[in-house]
């Protein structure tokens, strides 16, 4: 689709006149082109009828004006007018039938965020059209705020803004503010129109085309969809230079060209919306584009972007440390910052080994871990992770690690704890620590364990003098239904790792929390006793500010929605348990997973994974199966209707995965 949507900062800002000028300019610049005017939502008619007014001003033939999709008598917002008429306005908005080369000029109703229904605005309708915006604004004092808010709302929804149009020349300060804060150029001045008439509009269009900036905008309106063009270019450049994680480029499967995101939805270059059913690898906690976090990032970026944390400090890092210590299980009093989940684990492993050395036990260097565990891809984190395709090529780099079985698939909790008892009796005196993913093991297949199993591990490691490392990179901040999984079990580890949702999913940041006992072992007057470990971007102020905002939101909103999400998705999975080819259906908090049979024993590399992902995407839901385990872990903002869509996608994925079983 080609053309533009003419929206405004408010009602009565001149959108209809601008539409008429654009249509007249299209006729002048592209006389052989096909043009159409359409105002989908018309309220207050008759006698008010913008379609007739614009057609007369622009000199349109009858076939060049499409009738409104919704016509309502009450002169109010479409939402209010629809309620008064006892009607509902449905989306998506589909354009009338027209030749494919048509250049559309679509007029909005009032401002960009005018409601259409209790859950949708004009911005949602325009997202479906895949057209760029022309924003009409007043140049008077006090209206710049409305202009910038409109531009921000458009940007958050992935809508391209071609230009801002004002009725008289703005000051340089206004132009600069729109360019800097609104990220839009140019600001076009509508040529003076002394009286509203077809002749005056025609003269104004001629004068407008004398300005190269106006001509460029008209050419863009007459051309192809900017999203489609940009999407093709994005994929071509990606194929030429980008190297994606966990991706076999030889299979030729193109990535999703994502241009924007809002709430639970990703917006693709072709105008399609895809529901982010896995929170972008479990990071996006509240939803994409959370305003409070975005505002915190912007404020902090203007104040202090970065300073090294060795020998310096700053308020965001200290504020975040305070909040983490107050929220974490009892006894964790110190916060060491790093960059991501893997580096948080690396720090914890090094702390554990060095702590024993400072206790006069340099021989205690071994690490215990759970079978199927996954803790990251740096060398130390990879060493304590289970043998898998992630680690196969790097056996020579990994240090030895003893593994403890996990309950499930016929193994009881008592048997697994007995195996831990045996291992500790034989090798406990040479081990520094045990690392676990509490209650929910992520990349190893979304395996759910019990609080009593975690308590059993804590009791045994404490008895044998091992530090307990809780890898809560996935499980913290509501992913198991509570702020910390350890808290659910009443367990206080010696070291605790967090990342992913720490910043609400906006920026990379990680933290390793430690007890005072661990910290004090590194405090002395000898420099060599310090924890000599760090990163250039340790405690980056912008990331810390984002994390503080995220924790404030968690405190204000609570986590009651987390369990409700999982329960709603589970309702849609009824009937899967016991289906041929389905091995297990499980969940905790907002996460629900379905494990199918693996007749070829390929695990993570099973061919069913690609089939399941493709089937989910047909329902406009992004899922990324872990081999034969397909799961959903959406952001907390998902609605019940979106949960139902996720459940449908999961069922479709399971059907696709088990079809060849």
In 3-state terms the chain splits into helix, strand, coil percentages (rounded to 5) of 40, 20, 40
Q: With contact defined as beta carbons under 8 Å apart, do 288 and 262 qualify? A: yes
Name the active-site residue from 37, 374, 604, 631. 374
Spell out where 300-343 has E strands.
332-338
C-alpha 375/C-alpha 396 separation (Å) is: 18
* Separation in Å, CA 337 to CA 347, 478, 621: 9, 21, 34
Q: Is 471 a catalytic residue?
A: yes
Q: What span, in angstroms and rounded, lies between the C-alpha atoms of 302 and 633?
A: 34
- What six digits make up the tokens of 478? 């509501």
* Catalytic position from the list 276, 471, 494, 604: 471
Active site residue 15: no
Closest CA to 6 of 75, 58, 81, 83: 58
Please report which residue ranges of 451-515 form alpha helices under DSSP H: 451-463, 485-489
- Rounded to 10 deg, the angle between the 640-658 and 560-572 helix axes is 40
- Residue 589, sorted as left (phi over 0), alpha (psi -120 to 50) or beta, turns out to be left
97 φ, ψ to 5°?
A: -65, 135
Strands 265-268 and 273-276, by their bridges, are: antiparallel
Distance of CA 426 to the CA centre of its chain: 46
In 446-550, beta strands by DSSP E: 447-448, 467-471, 495-498, 510-515
Q: Give the CA dihedral 525, 529, 531, 535, nearest 10 degrees.
A: 80
Catalytic one of 224, 233, 246, 305: 246
For residues 204 and 26, the answer to whether their CB atoms sit within 8 Å is no
User: 220: helix, coil or strand?
Assistant: helix
Distance of CA 92 to the CA centre of its chain: 22
Whether 500 is catalytic is yes
The yes-or-no answer on residue 49 being catalytic is no
- Active site residue ranges: 246, 374, 471, 500
């Amino acid at each position: 689709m080609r053309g533009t949507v003419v929206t405004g900062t408010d009602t009565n800002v001149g959108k209809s006149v601008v539409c008429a000028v654009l249509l007249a300019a299209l006729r002048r610049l592209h006389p052989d082109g096909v043009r159409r005017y359409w105002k989908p939502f018309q309220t207050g008619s008759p006698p008010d009828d913008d379609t007739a007014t614009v057609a007369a001003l622009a000199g349109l033939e009858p076939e060049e004006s499409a009738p409104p999709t919704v016509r309502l008598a009450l002169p109010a917002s479409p939402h209010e007018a629809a309620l008064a008429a006892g009607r509902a306005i449905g989306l998506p908005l589909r354009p009338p039938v027209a030749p494919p080369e048509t250049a559309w000029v679509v007029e909005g109703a009032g401002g960009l965020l005018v409601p259409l229904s209790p859950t949708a605005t004009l911005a949602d309708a325009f997202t479906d059209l895949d057209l760029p915006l022309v924003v009409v604004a007043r140049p008077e004092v006090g209206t710049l705020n409305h202009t910038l808010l409109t531009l921000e709302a458009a940007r958050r929804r992935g809508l391209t803004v071609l230009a801002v149009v004002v009725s008289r020349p703005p000051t340089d300060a206004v132009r600069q503010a729109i360019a800097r804060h609104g990220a839009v150029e140019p600001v076009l001045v509508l040529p003076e129109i002394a009286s509203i008439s077809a002749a005056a509009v025609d003269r104004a269009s001629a004068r407008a085309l004398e300005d190269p900036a106006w001509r460029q905008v008209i050419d863009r309106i007459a051309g192809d969809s900017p999203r489609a063009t940009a999407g093709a270019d994005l994929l071509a450049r990606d194929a030429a230079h980008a190297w994606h994680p966990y991706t076999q480029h030889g299979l030729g499967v193109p990535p999703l060209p994502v241009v924007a995101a809002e709430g639970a939805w990703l917006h693709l270059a072709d105008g399609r919306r895809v529901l982010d059913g896995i929170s972008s690898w479990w990071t996006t906690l509240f939803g994409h584009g959370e305003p409070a976090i975005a505002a915190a990032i912007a404020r902090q970026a203007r104040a202090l972007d970065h300073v090294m944390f060795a020998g310096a400090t700053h308020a965001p890092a200290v504020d975040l440390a305070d909040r983490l210590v107050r929220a974490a299980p009892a006894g964790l009093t110190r916060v060491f910052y790093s960059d991501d989940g893997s580096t948080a684990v690396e720090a914890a492993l090094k702390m554990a080994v060095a702590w024993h050395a400072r206790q006069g036990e340099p021989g205690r260097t071994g690490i215990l871990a759970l079978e199927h565990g996954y803790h990251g891809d740096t060398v130390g984190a990879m060493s304590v992770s289970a043998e898998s395709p992630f680690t196969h090529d790097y056996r020579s780099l990994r240090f030895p690690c003893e593994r403890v079985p996990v309950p499930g698939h016929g193994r009881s909790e008592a048997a697994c704890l007995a195996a831990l008892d045996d291992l500790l009796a034989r090798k406990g005196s040479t081990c520094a620590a045990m690392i676990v993913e509490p209650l929910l093991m992520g990349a190893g297949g979304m395996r759910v364990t019990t609080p009593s199993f975690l308590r059993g591990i804590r009791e045994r490691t404490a008895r044998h003098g091992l530090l307990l490392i809780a890898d809560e990179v996935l499980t913290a901040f509501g992913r198991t239904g509570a702020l910390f999984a350890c808290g659910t079990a009443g367990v206080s580890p010696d070291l605790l790792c967090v990342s992913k949702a720490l910043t609400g999913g906006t920026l990379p940041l990680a933290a390793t929390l430690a007890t005072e006992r661990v910290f004090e072992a590194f405090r002395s007057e000898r420099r060599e006793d310090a924890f000599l470990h760090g990163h250039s971007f340790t405690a980056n102020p912008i990331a810390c500010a984002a994390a503080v905002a995220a924790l404030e939101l968690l405190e204000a909103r609570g986590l009651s929605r987390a369990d409700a999400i999982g329960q709603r998705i589970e309702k849609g999975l009824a009937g899967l348990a016991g289906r041929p080819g389905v091995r297990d259906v499980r969940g905790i908090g907002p996460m629900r997973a379905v494990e199918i049979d693996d007749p070829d024993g390929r695990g993570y590399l099973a061919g069913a994974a690609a089939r399941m992902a493709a089937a989910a995407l047909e329902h406009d839901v992004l899922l990324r199966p872990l081999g034969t385990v397909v799961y959903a872990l959406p952001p907390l903002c998902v609605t019940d209707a979106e949960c139902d869509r996720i459940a449908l996608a999961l069922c479709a994925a399971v059907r696709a995965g088990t079809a060849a079983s």
